[in-house]
Amino acid sequence: MSDILKTVELSKRFRGNSVLEGLNLAVPEGSLYGLVGPNGAGKTTTIKILMNIIQATGGRSEALGVDSRRLGPREFAQIGYVSENQEMPEWMTVEYFLGYLRPFYPTWDEVREKELLRQFDLPLDRKLKHLSRGMRMKAALASSLAYRPRLIVLDEPFTGLDPLVRDEFIQGLLENAEGTTMLISSHDLAEIESFASHIGYLDRGRLQFSEEMTALSERFREVEVTVTAPAGTMPDRPVTWPVTWLGREASASVVRFVESQFQQERTLEQVRRVFGEVQQVSWNPMPLREIFVTLAKAGRKAA
């Protein structure tokens, strides 16, 4: 599987402040790739460099196999782009807006356009400036899906949307994105988790991990250990805690932590090494939001 988006040692500085440092990102073609991370992590900056909206300070980036700095009409005709601060010609009606765009895209599908208008219940005669935020985002998405792009890039598309509009937006996106690669940055982790095939976690300008969603879910576990003595007194000798144990907490005779590289036999062996004999060990899978919060807290402590 080839990479449809790629960065190599990408860096970006704004007025002496480093936003990206040596970023190496690869988005496989055909994937639904979720790019997550705290505010200020560099997600929007990364997307803008990939789309040739801003220039990098160092390194390089590619989209559709082309250097981002050389993207032209041929490539942009294959890319759909929607952002939370989407700039649109507000004086145009929805109908005029779509009609204006059609000639720029050789693959524009008028049958799909009509289906999208119906699905999103978009009012053809209403000016864009008079649309609610949710309807504006639907109009932007419809204009990006109508020409069947090879790549869809969405930057925080769910911000400010009410739950019903968000569900309609996601449903329309997934129903019309067959065979399309998608890169989406968002803080709406529950929604990302429901459809992403790959996840990349960006923090302080560096990619902390990038992997398939199934692999990520398998390696993170919330572990609870019931020890044979009060947790506050265990262990009774200096012990090096495994670096993969995050967010350690203790109360009474119970110790809780997140294992970020869970393997059942190895994790049990490490528990016995640290605590000796224990009464019970249990582990549970974690939703993406809990993984994200754990990593964010660990990142702040390490800073």
DSSP states of the chain: --EEEEEEEEEEEETTEEEEEEEEEEEETT-EEEEE--TTSSHHHHHHHHTTSS--SEEEEEETTEEGGG--HHHHTTEEEEETT----TTSBHHHHHHHHGGG-TT--HHHHHHHHHHHT--TTSBGGGS-HHHHHHHHHHHHHTT--SEEEEESTTTT--HHHHHHHHHHHHHT-TT-EEEEE-S-HHHHHHH-SEEEEEETTEEEEEEEHHHHHHH-EEEEEEESS-GGG-SSS-----TTEEEEEEETTEEEEEETT--HHHHHHHHHHHHSSEEEEEEEE--HHHHHHHHHHHHHHH-
Residues 113, 48 within the same domain: yes
Q: Which of 73-87, 188-202, 288-302 has the lowest mean pLDDT?
A: 288-302
Residues 206, 229 within the same domain: no
Is 295 part of any domain? no
Residues 270, 152 within the same domain: no
- Average pLDDT score over residue span 220-243: 72
Residues 144, 113 within the same domain: yes
Q: Is the pLDDT of residue 211 over 60?
A: yes
The CATH number of the domain holding residue 169 is: 3.40.50.300
Is 302 part of any domain? no
Domain closes at, from 161, 190, 212:
212
- Average pLDDT score over residue span 21-28: 95
User: pLDDT digit string (tens) for 44-71?
Assistant: 999 999 999 999 999 999 999 999 999 9
pTM: 0.86
| Number of folded domains that form the chain | 2
Is 179 part of any domain? yes
Q: Whole domain around residue 265: which residue ranges? A: 221-285
- Average pLDDT score over residue span 138-163: 91
Domain closes at, from 189, 212, 235:
212
